[in-house]
Structure 1
């Protein structure tokens, strides 16, 4: 039938054909491959492939834990192998979520079409990106199925030896058992690899589950076994290897200088001033940057400082320019409707209360700056790098040196931190180009200055929130929101990012191509979790002249800050208690109601009375059926040292939890990341450059600034066994409004700009 298809029919027929791809795992000596997800060595070690970037979120424990429980392995025999991007590991949920970025023409045709297109795209393009909390949704089921198939193959091999039926065998604790007979995984591995697995694989009825039990006061783990993080011991003793640890024979070390992050060009530098510095191997210049390589990175950096490269800036934007554009267009600019619920925009007949909220841009700012190693020889490029989008990074590096993507090998390294910064691939392009020009292996590390210049911060957002209110007294529903209208001015940052990632455009070209576009993903955090009669969200696209990108929390930072601050203000004006006011608007979302009640109970909520210093906020990410929820009570005081947040109390509902300890780490880390956004220093821009290149000037929380954190996970009560919600983003968005509301309670001051203290008290 495929051969008979002609014209468009040929394309369609080919598109629907199933295709097979080679197994991406390669066995070492004594290892045997059992599918695309695991290998078993003759000494019993089970190596699990992990196709997601480990950047502190614990994915190199979560996926192996899923495999170990389904396989019946002993946790002590589990090892991890970072998997290269391959069609065997498609991140289909993320491909569907980002379909408007890689295929805007067909996005949104229908749910079924989007599913099909996303699956085909993710598979054929080896799309394995790590982002938006999609790891478990994408990989839990494939990993379980692979482990179940391998378990059956081990049982088959043992049954053949024992002249028995494989269905009678039990597999647990790293052994296959039948009565008194025992065989280890290592003994059976070679023979098991030759067995044909059953189709479908025999999945265990039990899922990986450490969800707290109903009625537990300490949110302890359930009956599941303990699975400590695999990467923790080596990170503690320093043996864990990152991209910065790569060393190759004949390697030199490169430092680099970039101009302002908006299309600047290199105009000159003084080579003579660097002649007295020892160890210099060579320099590489392009239209946009200058790099120097030397036998040590410090020598290369000293040489660059001495050479004083100069750049011409096309658009020397400043924070004042950005603010003026946002300010003007917020009220006067053309807008696009991105979300509408209930009775829609026409339901708002008047505006009884309106407030404006502003969010300055902020950096991802991981402690580890961008670094990568590259070697180009015999027409083949090898790249050692931490990247959240390996196949797109591989393609960008290949294009930079004029190779086909098949001639580039990317060795995935872990990141010491990312917060979405490693979705960008500039340093991969640069190190590949430098290696080609110098003809030897190169290790490139950005200084903190370059990281600050080249990172794409979270875009600034100015928001107007207006409401039509009902009633006068609490008994009559006074202050109830009948209609809500949100208008947000911000760049179409998600599309801008998409043009860089999927179109390989420069930041300036991406800005030009996306100017004036509606960006629904940039607005998704503006949709409140409340069951209001009418909600309308409108996006006012603004070109600020400064590139923007993705940062942990993304759209939910500005959206939750505006919504939860506004809800508190309406409650205060209406004389309503903030907790009960929120509860009255939740409709049938009993899970979010339970989070609010639990957080209030743990924090000994006193109603947010004057001078109490307590503030409340809540957040739901995703839909009502499968989304994650969090409620947070912040306790803040103004003391001699300024504002101090003494306690953060959070109640979280993410459904089934695979690893309770890692889930807790994710929530705590998100809360602290959000604390940095709320109380850090704003990103000031002058002449297209950050006003400061110092990490300390970001004013991020130090150990002594960290408040007491109490996190409680609510038990799963819906009876479903679906994969739980990834908690990595939840804590980030809820903190800022909780602290703003706490500060209002403590001082009577209402701060409507992030960072909260950017204008001082």
Structure 2
């Protein structure tokens, strides 16, 4: 009888005994940090130098969210260091930095057969997978849940070791010593970290580490506060003066620069190009052709791109898709396709015996479009590949690059670089594969480093947008003529985007192969946020998986964006039809969620909420992202006004509950950035496809908000004792429905498609 791993696990779990599997056995990972001259390593997270500088390893991609400040800040607080003596370095890819919470959330993507046996089994599997596979991906706002305690424990252990060394010199017990400001102190005696580090590094760390009684916490500040942050961003000065190095800033001796042309669709094949046309371009270093793309390397990137333009590569395209075809498929499947129930609350489907009100909402694909296009540098020599690139999943990028050129993963060294934005675009690793192939080809004439930078055109062609989603919401209302919702059905026609992405990331499949592998599969992760944050007697969510022929992926907010837009627009429509004030209508449905209620009340105060009366131009929306006490909450009120240039959003007021605040300044920046991102989703231009190609292939065509378009913002946080939650997605999710509801208030027009001005106004 064939035995599967799922069978073994299920049998062990059902038997009630110890769950035994070789791959669940705990593993220990040595410190991956290497000490430079004068430095001393204290575990996997920090080094202390003779001059007192404390260097903190950061295993997450810095892409503007401030992780290179947050983790060092936690270390500095727990260690007792002066913030001015803190430095950072990107952590090498290592099992010591496994992102267990993300591995557990994505377990259905990397091991769908074994997922869901039990919460304990999933946790054990995730822990083992994250370490053994060196999975330290940056996504889903999991950095603090994954690494805060590890940073605290490492810093607490180092603090005790420093105190032990000082105590041994002074003839006192180490528990009598205080550690603060970069010094160990006992009475009038003081010793700096630098003078203690060498000897202290030889002590054995305490097990368990002596943690401080309370974790780091910052109090919420008023919306108009100009108080300077206690922990200013580490990356801010270098970003202001231009010395911060992104992937595009890497320079190596003898480096050449490459540009690339991809076919219109993922199934395109390169059929020809005019090689002779490149002969007039000076400084050419090589031409590299692949089945689906053409690249040129030259002494400057501009020369390489000009050569590609002159060579006019041609591609054969099979079954190119258009936006109209995608819309037609979604329309057909929304009403007639097979649906899979993926979530039920309360009485579920049984609660709905009729539909009293129904509305349909349409969400176009949305591209991440980070400022820095896909960029990577590489050097191939003696069978080894060195990579410099920004990646949210560095180990998966290493594996993909190694497989592409037929070498072992251990022969690929990846040097993590920050990203100029990402919004989940750098979870994909196409550029890692391409730079590996280009570097290997150029190395045939002798090792030569090369840097690949995608043109904006190719970034839009090859990016996997957030999938389009057509949603049909139906409500059964009470007979009291007050709009109270007795039951809600949410039907979502959208591709199984998370499963498709998982096949690319973990299965290393091509995009078209990933689409075929996941076709027709229900995908709960592709429909997150469809269960509203309200306590309703019955809710049922159906996913109708649709194959649209367009590869899709992850973009900031992910599925919470479409689902929150539809739900909050629908709630507003019900309130308007029955003459209910939108704020009190929502408050009445919140049940025991006092945290979201507090957000709604505070947002109303910040905005001067007038009840959302006709022509007031104010629109309200709220959202909850996550489950349990770790969930983040936000309420937002948008204010729109009619002007000479049309309707304009003049203010966004938001109140958020993100649990314990670690860095108030960064949290506020994340909310502000998310609100602007959400404005781009709401008011930008849709990326329309014609014959597989985007009609707009430059930044200007996206219609993203300029600085002059940004409204006044009033943002406050609610004081909370809950665990810290990520603020990065909240603004992007809540802004579009708030703006849509504000436009209805200002104009009387109900816009049910994103972007809101897709069909004019």
After superposition, what is the alpha-carbon deviation per residue over 1:561-620, rounded to whole angstroms, capped at 9, x for unaligned? Answer: 000000000011111110110001000101101110110111111111110000000000
Q: 1:180 aligns with which of 188, 192, 202?
A: 188
The offset of 1:165, in angstroms, is 1.1
Task: Report what 2:512 is aligned to.
Answer: 508
Task: Report what 1:470 is aligned to.
Answer: 478
The offset of 1:263, in angstroms, is 1.1
For structure 2, the residue ranges without an aligned partner over 5 or more in a row are 1-6, 13-17
Task: Report what 1:377 is aligned to.
Answer: 381
Q: 1:38 aligns with which of 40, 43, 46?
A: 46
Task: Report what 1:354 is aligned to.
Answer: 358
After superposition, what is the alpha-carbon deviation per residue over 1:335-366, rounded to whole angstroms, capped at 9, x for unaligned? Answer: 11111000010210100000000000010011
- 1:732 pairs with 2:740: no
The offset of 1:220, in angstroms, is 8.2
The 1-side partners of 2:401 and 2:676 are apart by: 34
Task: Report what 1:205 is aligned to.
Answer: 213
- 1:617 pairs with 2:621: yes
Matches within 5 A, 1:466-615: 466-473=474-481, 478-615=482-619
Matches within 5 A, 1:27-66: 27-66=35-74
Q: 1:160 aligns with which of 168, 183, 188?
A: 168
Task: Report what 2:328 is aligned to.
Answer: 324
* SS in structure 2 at match of 1:208: coil
The 1-side partners of 2:303 and 2:475 are apart by: 60
Contact 2:24/2:125, CA 8 A, preserved across alignment: no
**Cα distance change, pair 217–419 in 1 and its aligned pair in 2 (3 A):** closer
* SS in structure 2 at match of 1:609: coil
The offset of 1:275, in angstroms, is 1.0
The 2-side partners of 1:13 and 1:434 are apart by: 41
RMSD (CA atoms)? 1.5
Contact 2:263/2:293, CA 8 A, preserved across alignment: yes
The 2-side partners of 1:131 and 1:708 are apart by: 29
The 2-side partners of 1:635 and 1:162 are apart by: 64
Contact 1:262/1:545, CA 8 A, preserved across alignment: no
* SS in structure 1 at match of 2:23: helix
- 1:24 pairs with 2:28: no
- 1:81 pairs with 2:94: no
The offset of 1:180, in angstroms, is 1.4
**Cα distance change, pair 751–532 in 1 and its aligned pair in 2 (3 A):** same
- 1:286 pairs with 2:290: yes
For structure 1, the residue ranges without an aligned partner over 5 or more in a row are 1-6
Task: Report what 2:416 is aligned to.
Answer: 412
After superposition, what is the alpha-carbon deviation per residue over 1:220-247, rounded to whole angstroms, capped at 9, x for unaligned? Answer: 88xx980000000000000111111111
After superposition, what is the alpha-carbon deviation per residue over 1:270-300, rounded to whole angstroms, capped at 9, x for unaligned? Answer: 1111111111111011111110111111111
Task: Report what 1:3 is aligned to.
Answer: none
The offset of 1:262, in angstroms, is 2.6
Contact 2:343/2:540, CA 8 A, preserved across alignment: yes
The 1-side partners of 2:687 and 2:229 are apart by: 45
Contact 1:262/1:314, CA 8 A, preserved across alignment: no
Matches within 5 A, 1:307-322: 307-322=311-326
Task: Report what 1:743 is aligned to.
Answer: 743
The offset of 1:19, in angstroms, is 2.2
The 2-side partners of 1:130 and 1:506 are apart by: 22
* SS in structure 1 at match of 2:630: coil
* SS in structure 2 at match of 1:81: strand
* SS in structure 1 at match of 2:528: helix
The offset of 1:15, in angstroms, is 2.6
After superposition, what is the alpha-carbon deviation per residue over 1:401-428, rounded to whole angstroms, capped at 9, x for unaligned? Answer: 1111111100000001000000010001
The 2-side partners of 1:13 and 1:365 are apart by: 43
Q: TM-score, normalised by structure 1?
A: 0.96
After superposition, what is the alpha-carbon deviation per residue over 1:384-403, rounded to whole angstroms, capped at 9, x for unaligned? Answer: 00000000001001111111
The 1-side partners of 2:278 and 2:19 are apart by: 58
Contact 1:262/1:315, CA 8 A, preserved across alignment: no
- 1:704 pairs with 2:708: yes
After superposition, what is the alpha-carbon deviation per residue over 1:635-666, rounded to whole angstroms, capped at 9, x for unaligned? Answer: 01232212200000001111100000000000
Contact 2:27/2:131, CA 8 A, preserved across alignment: no
* SS in structure 2 at match of 1:354: strand
The 2-side partners of 1:346 and 1:359 are apart by: 28
Q: 2:683 aligns with which of 665, 668, 679?
A: 679
**Cα distance change, pair 493–225 in 1 and its aligned pair in 2 (3 A):** closer
The offset of 1:21, in angstroms, is 2.0
The 2-side partners of 1:297 and 1:132 are apart by: 34
The offset of 1:331, in angstroms, is 0.3
* SS in structure 2 at match of 1:249: coil
Q: TM-score, normalised by structure 2?
A: 0.96
**Number of matched residues?**
743
* SS in structure 1 at match of 2:529: helix
4+ residue runs over 4 A deviation: 7-11, 216-221
The offset of 1:128, in angstroms, is 0.3
- 1:304 pairs with 2:308: yes
Contact 2:583/2:600, CA 8 A, preserved across alignment: yes
Task: Report what 1:4 is aligned to.
Answer: none
Q: 1:454 aligns with which of 462, 467, 473?
A: 462
The 2-side partners of 1:13 and 1:112 are apart by: 14
The 2-side partners of 1:458 and 1:622 are apart by: 19
The offset of 1:471, in angstroms, is 2.7
The 1-side partners of 2:226 and 2:696 are apart by: 45
The 2-side partners of 1:212 and 1:757 are apart by: 36
- 1:114 pairs with 2:122: yes
